[in-house]
Amino acid sequence: MKLLLCTKNDLFGAVILNYLLPELSHHEIRVLLSDKARTGEDTIPELRAEKFLEREYPLHHFFPTLDSEGITGQWLTFNALAAKFGISIEREYDINGTESTQRLSTWAPDLILSARFSLIFAPQILALARLGAYNVHPGVLPGYAGVLAPLRALWNAEPRLGCTVHRIDKGIDTGPVYSISYMTATPGRAVQSYIPDLYRLGIDSLLELVKSIESGHRPELRPQDPAAFRYFRPPTDEDYRTKNIPLYDLSDYSKLLQQFLPADAAPEARLGTDLANLESLLSQHMKQSAASS
C-alpha cells in the first residue's frame, strides 16, 4: 500500500517515525513534517522552554551533530531514517494548498496516518486516501479533544492517561474511534516525559489497524458521544502559573536523547545529552529569550 505518514518536525516526531517505519517498511511510504508553532510559545516561559527542548536544540544542534559525524543509536534522526528506509521526508507548510493537493493527488495514497501533525486536513485531502485517514491523538476522546490533552488530563488529576486512534473526518478530533489505550499517571512526573510512552501506545494500535486493513478487513469504529465531547484550546499564561504540574524533566529528557546514541558511546561522545550541559544550555536560552522579549 501507499502510506502517507504525517508528523511534526520535532524530537517527538522523530521518535514517532522510529516507532512506525521499521514496521511499515514493506509499504511505499512518504513522510510529511509540519512546523506549526504552539500558541504562546514565544511569550509564555514554560512553552519557550518546551520549544527549545522539543525543536530548537534537537533540530539545530543535536541532530545535525549526529548526522555530520554519522552517529546512530537505537533511534535515528530524520536524515538517517530517510537514508535507511529509502524514503522521502519533506517539510509541509500548507497541506491543503493547491501545490500539495496536486502532488498528493498524483501520488494517490491508500492510507493517511497522522500523529502529532498539528495541521488540519481539508476534505479534498482526506478524499485522496481510498482506505481512509487515521490519527493518533494523545488523549482520551471524546473528553480530551484539542491541544495539550496530556497536560489537561494531569491538571484534572486523572488517574490514567490515554491515547486514541480515530478516523479523521471534517471536524477536529471528532471522527469515529478505533481504539483507546491507557497508561497510569504517576504523581510528580513531567508532562513531556509521558509523550513517547503515550504515542507508543497509540502507534501499537495504529499498526494493528494497518495490518487489519492490509488483510482486507474493514476496521470496527464507534462514533463519539457528542454530549461527552470537550474541546480544549491552548492554555493561558495564568493556567501555567496556577497549576503545579512540571512540563519537563531534564533527567528524563537526557535519557530520551541518549536513545539516539550507541549504547557503548564513550562519555565524551555523550556531551550533547549530559544533564549538566542541558541545564546550562536551557538556562542560557531562557535568559536570552527573556532579554529579547
pLDDT digits (tens, 9 = 90+) for 43-81: 888 889 999 999 999 999 999 999 999 999 999 999 999
Q: Looking at residue 225, which CATH number applies to its domain?
A: 3.40.50.170
Residues (pLDDT < 50) of the chain are none
- pLDDT of 265 reads 76
Does a cis peptide bond (omega within 30 degrees of 0) precede residue 142? yes
- pLDDT of 293 reads 64
Radius of gyration of the CA atoms of the chain, in A? 19
- pLDDT of 267 reads 65
Q: What percent of the chain has pLDDT over 90?
A: 85
Residues 89 and 31 sit within 8 Å (Cβ to Cβ) = yes
Overall number of domains in the chain: 1
Give start and end residues of each alpha helix (H) in 168-216: 191-214
* 137 three-state secondary structure: strand
- pLDDT of 36 reads 85
Give start and end residues of each alpha helix (H) in 86-176: 98-107, 123-126, 149-155
Hunting for cell 469504529 — which residue is that?
Answer: 221
Taking the C-alpha atoms of residue 226 and residue 116, their distance in angstroms, rounded to an integer, is 23
pTM for the predicted model, two decimal places: 0.96
Hunting for cell 487515521 — which residue is that?
Answer: 134
160 burial class (0-12, 13-18, 19+ CB within 10 angstroms)? exposed
Q: Where are the beta strands (DSSP E) in the chain?
A: 2-8, 28-34, 88-92, 111-115, 133-137, 145-146, 160-167, 177-184, 231-232
Taking CA atoms, 277 is separated from 157, 270, 272, 280, 287, in Å, by: 33, 10, 7, 5, 16
Name 98's Cβ contacts closer than 8 Å, sequence gap at least 6.
Answer: none
CB environment 248-264: b (16+ within 10 A), e (fewer): bbbeebbebbbebbeee
Name 6's Cβ contacts closer than 8 Å, sequence gap at least 6.
Answer: 31, 32, 34, 92, 95, 112, 113, 114, 115, 117, 119
- pLDDT of 258 reads 94
Range of the domain at 159: 2-292
Taking the C-alpha atoms of residue 138 and residue 191, their distance in angstroms, rounded to an integer, is 12
Closest CA to 272 of 264, 284, 283, 261: 261
Residue positions counted in the chain: 293
Average pLDDT score over the chain: 94
- pLDDT of 106 reads 97
Q: Round to the nearest angstrom and report the end-to-end CA distance of the chain.
A: 48
List the beta bridge partners of residue 6. 32, 114
Strands 231-232 and 177-184: unpaired
Taking the C-alpha atoms of residue 134 and residue 165, their distance in angstroms, rounded to an integer, is 7
